[in-house]
A and B are shown apart, each in its own frame.
Chain A
C-alpha cells in the first residue's frame, strides 16, 4: 500500500510538471502569434495614445512576457481565464456554459466504447470461427471510419432515411439530450470502439494460449470460472489501458462531431475562437482540454496499478 501511495504522489508531481509545461506552451505560442492584441481589441480603428495605454495596462500588455505568463497562470488557477474579446464575457463562464454539452457527449461515447468495444472484443476472443471473423472485419472497417465520415453516413441513414434521430442541435433535459446525442456519440465512438475491440480480442486470445490457462483447463475448471478468473483477470490490464487512452482522446475529437451535428460544445467553440482569433478563449479551452486529458490518463495509470500490483508501478502495458 505504501508503494502505491508513493507511486500516486510521484504521478501527481509528474502531472503538475506536465501541466506547467503545457500551460507555458499554450500561453507562449499564442503570445508569439502575429498580430497586435490592441488592434483586435479596437476592431482595427486607431485609438488615441492614452486609450492604448489604459488598454495595455488593463490586459497587462506592458509587462514582460514571463510576468504576463505568471499573471495568466495564477489567475487561471483561481478560475479566472480572462475575457473573451468577441463576446466581452468571462472565458470561464463561457466555458462552463458549454462544458456540460461536451461532457455529456464524451460520456455517452465512452459508455458505448466500454459496452460495445469490450463486448465485441470478448465475443471475438471467446468464440473462434465465423463470429470472430465477423468481429475482425467489423472492427477493421469501423477503425478506418473517421468521425466526420461516420456522421455523414449516420445522418443519411438514420436521420434523413429512417427519420429515427434528429440530425442537428442538442436537446433539453436528460432524455432529450440522450435522444439528440445518440448519433453524435456513435460517430465519435466508431473508430475508438474498433481499436478497443481489437485489443480486447487480441489479449483474450493471448491469455487463452498461456500455460496457466492450459493448466487450468486440464484441471477441469468449469469454463465460466476459467474465463472469469484466469482469462479476464489478466486480459483486463491491456483492455483498461487502451479503453482509458482512447476515451481520453475523445475529449479533443469531440470538436469534429460537434461541428458535424451543430452541437454547442467546447470543441466547436474552440474552433470558432481559433477562427476569430479570440486568444483568451483558445488558451482557456486548450488548458481545460489538456487538464482533463492528463487527469483521465492519470486515472488509467492508477487503475492499472490497482488491477495488477505485480508489475513495477508506473510502467504501462504497451
Chain B
C-alpha cells in the first residue's frame, strides 16, 4: 500500500470515529451497549458462571439467589449463563443478514445507478416484487423449504432486506454519479469498476453504515421471532428467541424472569442500534 493510500485509509478511519463522536451522549451510550453485546458474543461462554445446558428440575423457576443472579428457567438451568452463551446466535445471525443484504444492495444500487436505462428499470421492478414479501413470511417459507434452522432464515431475511437498503443506496449512488469528479475520472479513462469501487462506494460508506445499523435491529427482532416460532435456532441452544419461547409457559404461571431476561437483552441491543442508526443517518443527511 502506497503512502497516499495509507493516509486515505487513516483519514477514513478517523472520519468513522468522528462520525461516532458526533452522535452525542445518547449515541455514545448506545455504542457502549453494542460494544458490551459484542464482547459477550465473543467471551460469553468463557464468563458464564455455570453450565447453560445442565439443569436441575428441583430448581425449576426459582428466582434470583446466590450463584444465579437471574434465577433458573423451567428446566432448572441458570438463566444468566444461558443468556451469556445465547448471545452468539442472537448477535451473529443478524450480523450475517446485514452483511449479506448490504453487500447485495450496494452492488445492485451502484450497478443500476451506473448503467442506468433498462438495467436500472429491470433491477427496480425485481426489487419491487420482493417488496411484496414481508421478511417474516419469506423466512418461514425458507425454513419450510430448506428445513428449520438459522441458515435458511438468515439467507431469506438477507434477501427480504435487500430492496429496502438498495432503494436508499441507489438514490445516493445516483447523486454521486452526477457529480463532476466522476465525469472527470471518466474523461481520464479510469475504468468504470475502478470509479465505482474506489470512489463512489467509499463516498457512500457513511450511508451504508447508517443502513447497516438500522437493519441490524430489524434483523435481530425478525430472527429471534423465527426462533421463537421454533423454526430457527433449535433448543437446547439458548438463543434469546428460543429462551423466550421455552419460558413462555413460565410467564403464564407467574414466573416471567427467565423469558424477560432474554427479552431485555434483545430490547437493549435493538434500541441501541435504532438510536445509533438514526443519529448516523441524520448526520449524513445534514452533511450533504
Which residues of chain B come closer than 8 Å to A34, judged between CB atoms? 146-147
The answer on a CB contact under 8 Å between B256 and A253 is no
> Which of under 10, 10 to 19, 20 to 34, or 35 or more describes the interface residues of B?
35 or more
Chain A facing B: main interface SS: helix
The answer on a CB contact under 8 Å between A275 and B230 is yes
A-B contact count (CB 8 A): 138
Which residues of chain B come closer than 8 Å to A260, judged between CB atoms? 228, 248
Which residues of chain A come closer than 8 Å to B244, judged between CB atoms? 148-149, 152
Within A151-199, which residues are at the interface with B (CB < 8 Å)?
152-153, 155-156, 159-160, 167-168, 191
* Contact digits for A124-150, partner B, Cβ 8 Å, 1 yes 0 no: 000000000000000011011111110
The answer on a CB contact under 8 Å between B225 and A253 is yes
Which residues of chain A come closer than 8 Å to B148, judged between CB atoms? 275
Check B63 for interface membership: any CB of A closer than 8 A.
no
Which residues of chain A come closer than 8 Å to B230, judged between CB atoms? 271, 275
Check A22 for interface membership: any CB of B closer than 8 A.
yes
Give the segment of A87-95, A96-104, A216-224, A282-290 that binds chain B.
A282-290
Check A251 for interface membership: any CB of B closer than 8 A.
yes
The answer on a CB contact under 8 Å between B251 and A274 is no
Check A123 for interface membership: any CB of B closer than 8 A.
no
Which residues of chain A come closer than 8 Å to B267, judged between CB atoms? 144-146, 149
The answer on a CB contact under 8 Å between B132 and A22 is yes
Which residues of chain B come closer than 8 Å to A191, judged between CB atoms? 221
CA distance A149 to B227 in the complex (A): 13
A29 and chain B: residue at smallest CB distance: B145
The answer on a CB contact under 8 Å between B129 and A155 is no
Which residues of chain B come closer than 8 Å to A264, judged between CB atoms? none
* Contact digits for B217-229, partner A, Cβ 8 Å, 1 yes 0 no: 1000100110011
Check A205 for interface membership: any CB of B closer than 8 A.
no
The answer on a CB contact under 8 Å between B141 and A251 is no
B270 and chain A: residue at smallest CB distance: A144
Which residues of chain B come closer than 8 Å to A242, judged between CB atoms? none
The answer on a CB contact under 8 Å between A140 and B145 is no
The answer on a CB contact under 8 Å between B140 and A160 is no
Check B260 for interface membership: any CB of A closer than 8 A.
yes
The answer on a CB contact under 8 Å between A155 and B271 is no
Check A84 for interface membership: any CB of B closer than 8 A.
no
The answer on a CB contact under 8 Å between B274 and A149 is no
The answer on a CB contact under 8 Å between B266 and A149 is yes
Which residues of chain A come closer than 8 Å to B228, judged between CB atoms? 148, 256, 259-260
Pick the contact of A277: B128, B144, B263 (CB < 8 A): B144
CA distance A309 to B260 in the complex (A): 48
The answer on a CB contact under 8 Å between A146 and B144 is no
The answer on a CB contact under 8 Å between B137 and A286 is yes
The answer on a CB contact under 8 Å between B140 and A270 is yes
A260 and chain B: residue at smallest CB distance: B248
CA distance A259 to B227 in the complex (A): 12
* Contact digits for A240-283, partner B, Cβ 8 Å, 1 yes 0 no: 00000000110111011001100000000011011101010010
A and B contact pairs by CB, cutoff 8 A, 17 listed: A19-B132, A22-B132, A22-B133, A32-B145, A140-B275, A143-B271, A146-B224, A146-B263, A152-B259, A160-B256, A255-B136, A256-B229, A275-B148, A275-B230, A286-B140, A290-B133, A293-B133
